[in-house]
Amino acid sequence: MQRSLNTVAQLLALMQPFVDDEHLLKRSSKQLQDGLDEFIMIKRNDVIVGCVALKHYAECQTGEIYALVVSKDYHNTGVSAELMILLLKKAKNLGLSTLFALSKYGGHFFVRNGFEVVSVDDLPKHRQASYDYQRSSTVYLKHC
């Protein structure tokens, strides 16, 4: 339990600068704790420097990428590429046919990694219902 509390604290600290500048949605400790098994993390010297989470929608063989963050100290060091490789491996192991992400600021990253811009109508129905039109995120989709 102590280990997971430390992990959640590190995730919160990693995400906070991106929450502050509104590039990332704020998540509570409880949300992170409850979804900890969805996270892939990259550590350097026992400190989390990058993370991404994958929410699995088994009923439609798709996954939603969320909370993609790389510490500003580790930008342009290959951490994001490493996260993508691990993410695609996890998607394959889960038998997913597609991945999608909603982002206001990650366009170049997703396009560079083979995602295409699609409409909200291309999301699973239950995810369309919770789409935040005020935030107006771009929808990215990749076939696995």
Per-residue pLDDT tens listing for the chain (144 residues): 556 879 999 999 999 999 999 899 999 999 999 999 999 999 999 999 999 999 999 889 999 999 999 999 999 999 999 999 999 999 999 999 999 999 988 789 999 999 999 999 999 998 999 999 998 899 999 999
- Give residue limits of the domains in the chain: 2-143
| Region 2-143: CATH code | 3.40.630.30
φ/ψ of residue 132, rounded to 5: -95, 100
Scanning the structure block, which residue is given the tokens 């935040």? 132
* Rounded Cα–Cα distance for residues 24 and 18 (Å): 5
In the chain, the amino acid numbered 99 is L
